[in-house]
Amino acid sequence: MQHPGEQHPVPPLDRQPEIPYPGATDALLSAPDHGEDSYRGSGRLEGRRALITGGDSGIGRAVAVAFAREGADVVLTYLDAEDEDARRTATLVEAAGSRVVLVPGDIREEEFCRHLVATTVSEFGGIDILVNNAAYQHLEPGGIADITTEQFDRVMKTNLYALFWLSKFAVAEMRPGSTIVNTTSIQAVSPSPGLLDYATTKAGIVDFTKGLAADVASKGIRVNAVAPGPIWTPLIPATMPKDAYAQFGRDTPLGRPGQPSELAPAYVFLASQESSYITGETIAVTGGVPFT
């Protein structure tokens, strides 16, 4: 038994310097917990074949570790600049006894998304789980006045276009019982003006999840989402100025930011047969902030 507000320490956010995008785990003064020493699998995803975007670090790494320890093989995709983090994730997956395939590239390109699904099928013989996790954000304190068309396009392409392409290509290959798990955000229902473009995409993901779930239910494919609150990952100091994240997560009811390891069980649940009567839903992991 443990007080949830005291389960993880508040990182030294006020001392964490900004880091270059896309961010590296080693650059964080307080290393995120990805479940390396805590997650214990029980075979809930035995024999499953998963594709995880943004699988190099943060939430993606935690999901990859949990999936591997539950018995799944995984394909991980990430940006070229994140190769060192991705290789560390691959080491953790292999240590769990699962296969891993690393495919660096840019999911803003439709053909690369097609290639990702095709690679998963060719390497593993099929695809059973798609985790649409990769995302781009950049805080603009001046709100809409500071959001350029170039940035807006990048956010849309990364967060929504790729989601559409990957889901479309994956559904064409999936068997009944397969699952898609999308990553939305508390920003979907409580948008920050400085993250207007990002929040718009995260709200879109909630509706996309509901609509796609209804579309593919007859095929026996379930589609759900996880909505993180403030989670401590390299993305935070890589996309926010220091004065914006110095108090990151402290205004939640639990009084701290979440750790990637605290999200992974939600992804495992939605990917497994344990959630067989759940589709079109969003599980909020927000430290007590209402997802309404």
Q: Mapped to the 3 state alphabet, what secondary structure does 147-206 carry? A: CCHHHHHHHHHHHHHHHHHHHHHHHCCCCCCCEEEEECCHHHCCCCHHHHHHHHHHHHHH
- The percent of the chain in helix, strand and coil, each rounded to the nearest 5, is 45, 15, 45
Q: Phi and psi dihedrals of 228, rounded to 5?
A: -75, 150
198 is catalytic: yes
Per-residue DSSP letter, 256:
S
Between the CA of residue 45 and those of 80, 128, 282, what are the distances in Å?
28, 10, 20
* 55 within 8 A of 61, measured Cβ to Cβ: yes
- Report the run of H or E that residue 241 belongs to, with start and end: none
Dist. CA 96–CA 222, nearest whole Å? 26
* 119 within 8 A of 53, measured Cβ to Cβ: no
* 82 within 8 A of 107, measured Cβ to Cβ: no
Which one, of 51, 285, 34, 41, lies nearest residue 179 by Cα?
51
Between the CA of residue 235 and those of 175, 199, 238, what are the distances in Å?
34, 15, 5
Pair of tokens at residue 27 = 């650059």
Select which of 78, 198, 245, 267 is catalytic: 198
Residues involved in catalysis: 198
